[in-house]
């Protein structure tokens, strides 16, 4: 029996069990597995245990693996299904950790109490922290596996699964873990479900990704907070020092001013630019979901080029002095900012970290000192368009969505793509069903029930196509 004949009953099974699948996803969403906050360490472990049990249900040999190379040490979940002779072997990667939930007051309901909301268009979405990034997306793959297993008693190809708990907090343990377990994790290709569709109707495979270099900068001037009346004008103000340094990170034309920042950065091909232009004919079409209309980056690139293939510099947080209600005439001792750079292939995060630190230090007045904290670094990545798995995956997506699947870029950072290439020598296919208005990392994060349902069906089709590759 061909795998396409087997597929039909699997798709029926997915349609018939959608309600139970949603309930399983909600159970995972109720675990507040915020990886950056030490108070949630036990919750991270609970999410890992829950997933290990799910993998065991799918017939896998599954276990938690402690990580030991860097903090915070949330465990890896690894599962291996029985080998299918003469079939490809895929390694599926996802993450069970989620972003913090602040600002809490902007959530319309508690972040870890998932609920289904109907949008004005009639589309239903599941709202909860992690609904899209990445629990909902991970569960599309695992539910596809579940349907195959329940209908046919086994999976159509050889599948291993690796789920980490530190993707949202630097993920410093992933690369050494991959290296130490290279033998058992080695497969033919890596699949990741942590990206968005090309647009709401067009499925896509992401073939370029940005890396990340993140720094926390603390500037200190006076030995203690001062009265701004008594010292104002004469005493160095660390907020003013910080603002001046940060303001100088971008030139008038929107480019980043760090020396050598763009060294080694290649422009996209005319072909790629033309394809992107079809997806986003103007800047407003990319920005409108954010309530914006004009791109803020380098003036000589379109908004989609700015986010998919140009490196960026963003201030992700700033804090200093009195931030509460009313006013306090304080001249603070310390001010802090969190700054991140999205990187593209050709940029070295650690070289640029050193350049950034020198840039800040060179702009400090006398009496000001600075301390830096590294919050991770990863290189940008471009996926080979010649991988034998790319075409069948695009075909499977096209079958499910009835629209030709696209290859797209992504502005986000998914370090695993670069790291599996480094540690295991494998290509990665980034296939995701998120939408750009899923509000990932923001209050009221959501995942469309259409994304969840058709995403699950898409994976079932991808597995069938891969089974036919053998």
Site for its own copies in 335-394 (CB under 8 A): 335-338, 340, 342, 365-367, 375-376
Q: Is the CB of 180 or the CB of 225 nearer to its own copies?
A: 225
202 interacts with its own copies by CB under 8 A: no
**Distance separating alpha carbons of residues 138 and 256, to the nearest angstrom:** 35
The footprint of its own copies on residues 15-54 (CB under 8 A) is 36-38
**Distance separating alpha carbons of residues 210 and 151, to the nearest angstrom:** 39
Q: Is residue 324 packed enough to be buried (19+ CB in 10 Å), middle (13-18) or exposed (0-12)?
A: exposed
206 interacts with its own copies by CB under 8 A: no
Residue 305, H or E segment: helix 303-308
How many Å separate Cα 440 from the centre of its chain? 9
297 interacts with its own copies by CB under 8 A: yes
Among 6, 63, 243, 265, contact with its own copies (rule: CB under 8 A):
243
Q: Are 355 and 258 in contact (CB under 8 A)?
A: yes
265 interacts with its own copies by CB under 8 A: no
Q: Is the CB of 305 or the CB of 399 nearer to its own copies?
A: 305
Stretch that binds its own copies, among 18-26, 173-181, 239-247, 391-399 (CB under 8 A): 239-247
Inter-helix orientation angle 18-29/135-152, to 10°: 140
Least distance between its own copies and beta carbon 144 (Å): 25
**Distance separating alpha carbons of residues 73 and 171, to the nearest angstrom:** 9
The footprint of its own copies on residues 138-197 (CB under 8 A) is 168-170, 196
Least distance between its own copies and beta carbon 182 (Å): 28
Least distance between its own copies and beta carbon 217 (Å): 12
Q: Is the CB of 81 or the CB of 241 nearer to its own copies?
A: 241
Three-class SS state of 85: coil
137 interacts with its own copies by CB under 8 A: no
Q: Is the CB of 407 or the CB of 442 nearer to its own copies?
A: 442
Q: Are 427 and 369 in contact (CB under 8 A)?
A: no
Q: Are strands 226-227 and 61-65 parallel, antiparallel or unpaired?
A: unpaired
Q: Are strands 334-343 and 211-220 parallel, antiparallel or unpaired?
A: antiparallel
Stretch that binds its own copies, among 223-231, 349-357, 395-403, 452-460 (CB under 8 A): 223-231
* 219: alpha, beta or left? (left if phi > 0; alpha if psi -120 to 50): beta
Among 16, 20, 293, 384, contact with its own copies (rule: CB under 8 A):
293
Three-class SS state of 406: strand
Q: Are 174 and 75 in contact (CB under 8 A)?
A: no
Among 97, 298, 399, 400, contact with its own copies (rule: CB under 8 A):
298
How many chain residues are in contact with its own copies, going by CB under 8 A? 103
Least distance between its own copies and beta carbon 35 (Å): 8
**Polymer length of the chain:** 470
Q: Is the CB of 32 or the CB of 170 nearer to its own copies?
A: 170
The footprint of its own copies on residues 431-470 (CB under 8 A) is 436, 439-443
Which residues are CB-neighbours of 349 under 8 A, at least 6 positions away? 211, 212, 213, 341, 343, 377, 378, 379
Per-position x/- string for 90-129, each x denoting binding to its own copies as judged by CB under 8 A, each - no binding? ---------xx-xx--x-----------------------
Among 105, 122, 259, 294, contact with its own copies (rule: CB under 8 A):
294
């Amino acid at each position: 029996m061909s795998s396409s004949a087997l597929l039909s009953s699997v798709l029926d099974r997915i349609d018939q069990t959608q309600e139970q699948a949603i309930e399983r996803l909600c159970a995972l969403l109720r675990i507040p597995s915020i990886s950056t906050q030490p108070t949630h360490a036990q919750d991270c472990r609970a999410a890992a245990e829950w997933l290990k049990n799910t993998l065991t249900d799918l017939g896998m040999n599954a276990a938690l693996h402690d990580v030991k190379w860097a903090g915070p040490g949330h465990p890896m979940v690894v599962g291996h299904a029985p080998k299918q002779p003469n079939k490809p072997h895929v390694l599926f990667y996802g993450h069970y950790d989620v972003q913090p939930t602040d600002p809490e007051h902007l959530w319309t309901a508690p972040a870890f109490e998932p609920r289904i909301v109907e949008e004005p268009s009639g589309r239903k979405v599941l709202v909860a922290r992690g609904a899209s990034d990445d629990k909902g997306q991970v569960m599309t793959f695992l539910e596809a596996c579940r349907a195959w297993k329940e209908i046919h008693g086994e999976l159509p190809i050889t599948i291993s699964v690796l789920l980490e708990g530190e993707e949202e907090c630097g993920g410093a343990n992933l690369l050494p873990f991959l290296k130490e377990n290279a033998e058992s994790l080695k497969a033919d290709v890596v699949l990741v479900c942590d990206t968005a569709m090309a647009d709401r109707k067009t499925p896509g495979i992401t073939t370029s990704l940005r890396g990340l270099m993140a720094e926390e900068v603390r500037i200190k001037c006076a030995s203690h907070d001062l009265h701004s009346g008594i010292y104002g004008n004469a005493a160095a103000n660390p907020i003013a020092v910080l603002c001046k340094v940060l303001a100088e990170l971008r030139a008038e034309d929107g480019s980043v001013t760090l020396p050598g920042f763009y060294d080694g950065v290649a422009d996209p091909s005319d072909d790629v630019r033309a394809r992107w232009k079809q997806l986003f004919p103007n800047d407003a079409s990319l920005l409108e979901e954010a309530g914006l209309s004009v791109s803020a980056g380098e003036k000589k690139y379109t908004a989609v080029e700015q986010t998919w293939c140009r490196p960026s510099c963003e201030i992700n947080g700033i804090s200093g002095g009195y931030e509460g209600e009313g006013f306090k005439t304080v001249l603070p001792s310390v001010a802090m900012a969190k700054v991140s750079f999205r990187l593209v292939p050709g940029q070295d995060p650690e070289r640029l970290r050193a350049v950034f630190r020198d840039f800040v230090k060179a702009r400090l007045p006398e009496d000001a000192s600075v301390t830096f904290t590294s919050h991770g670094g990863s290189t940008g990545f471009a996926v080979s368009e010649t991988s034998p798995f790319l075409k069948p995956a695009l075909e499977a997506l096209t079958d499910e969505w009835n629209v030709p699947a696209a290859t797209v870029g992504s502005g986000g950072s998914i370090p695993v793509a670069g790291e599996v290439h480094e540690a295991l020598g494998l290509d990665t296919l980034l296939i995701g069903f998120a939408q750009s208005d899923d509000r990932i990392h923001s209050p009221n994060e959501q995942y469309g029930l259409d994304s969840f349902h058709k995403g699950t069906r898409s994976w079932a089709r991808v597995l069938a196509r891969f089974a036919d590759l053998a």
